[in-house]
Amino acid sequence: MYKNILVNALVNLGDVVLTTSALALIKKNFPDTKITMLVKPVVKDAVIDNPVVDDVIVLDYRAKENSFGKMMSLIAEIKRRNFDLAISFDRKLRPALLTFIAGIPRRVCPSKVFDDNTSRVTLMYTDVIDISHDLNKTLQAETYQEIVRKFFNIDGHETPKFPLKPSPKADDLIKRLPQSKFKIALCVKGTFPLKTWSKEYFAEVVGELRDRYDAAFFVVGAPNDKDYADEVIAEMGGGVENFCGETSLTDLAELFRRVDLLITVDTGATHIAATTGVKMITIYGCTSPDRWHPINPNAVVFTSRENCCPCTYRAEQCPTYPKPNCLQNVTPKQVIDAAVKILGDI
């Protein structure tokens, strides 16, 4: 049995969180196995001190830099660690080359993971795991787990895991909120426009919930979301704190543990929140909850299920741009009604 596994996950935050469900499945069946993750710098806080990750290698690669020396150094480091198995959750060329050149004896990748396209990258692996299900109709976490189930010939399902750490920062941010019965978090900006619900819709939801409840609101997000969040808050008439860029990923998880409700678009923070069990409402645009539903029994999702969804359009290519039907047809009333059901009709 394999004792020292390198896992390639050079993907975005939400996917990294979801891959931990597959690692949890490995740990459940082979608890003595050491798992090291290869990740991007921006997501390292999601896996450092994660209960199913023993070690982390951060690949800090910038395309415009001369990185040959850096890559050779990383190959030497991988060789030094004597991995006996590499598993790819990203099917990307760079980690495929790293693990191939480093000579890891068994290297596993899926036949597909993000789309149905074939790739010559699979030629650098010793084992290609056939993924036969429809990606768009299967939770992405299950796709990652299917790679593991088939390779190790095991059964079962696990949920994503996230580090649990004390967070003085989360405590300080909560203290900045006005005293109120309820604390409501908002994540208002997706990674691209076809995930981002309109400012006007968010403002209508917050206005209605303000009228009904003694509630304090705040917005979370990445540093580069801060200006957009300010615009949304202005649309709401102010009175909402902007915490974008003020938290680490583990601080963010602790913030979610302290709130009564999260209202969010489909983004990486959604999957962090799901690991905390927070009551949450997620709004989907061009993506589908069939694939990206938060793995949380307290999650409510809304999608208009347009015929064109899920899609890979750029925003300006969308036939209904600048007000795409997939986002416009998820209404504030739907979200308000769900929030009232969660918070209580008082």
pLDDT digits (tens, 9 = 90+) for 157-192: 999 999 999 999 999 999 999 999 999 999 999 999
Q: What is the mean pLDDT of residues 317-342?
A: 96
Distance CA 110, CA 116 (A): 11
**Residue 201: how many CB atoms within 10 A of its CB?**
20
Domain 4-152 has CATH 3.30.1490.20: no
Q: What is the mean pLDDT of residues 266-294?
A: 97
- pLDDT category of residue 63 using cuts at 50, 70 and 90: low
- pLDDT category of residue 1 using cuts at 50, 70 and 90: confident
Q: Nearest to residue 46, comparing CAs of 279, 273, 300?
A: 273
Q: Where are the beta strands (DSSP E) in the chain?
A: 4-8, 34-39, 55-58, 85-88, 107-110, 127-129, 182-187, 215-219, 241-242, 261-265, 280-283, 299-302
Instruction: Output the pTM of the full model.
Output: 0.95
Domain ranges of the chain: 4-152, 168-343
Going by the DSSP 8-state scheme, the letter that residue 58 receives in this structure is E
Distance CA 320, CA 310 (A): 14
- Do 4-152 and 168-343 have matching folds? yes
Q: What is the pLDDT of residues 215-268, one digit of tens each?
A: 999 999 999 999 999 999 999 999 999 999 999 999 999 999 999 999 999 999
Out of 1.10.760.10, 3.40.50.300, 1.10.3720.10, 3.40.50.2000, which CATH number does the structure's domain 168-343 have? Answer: 3.40.50.2000
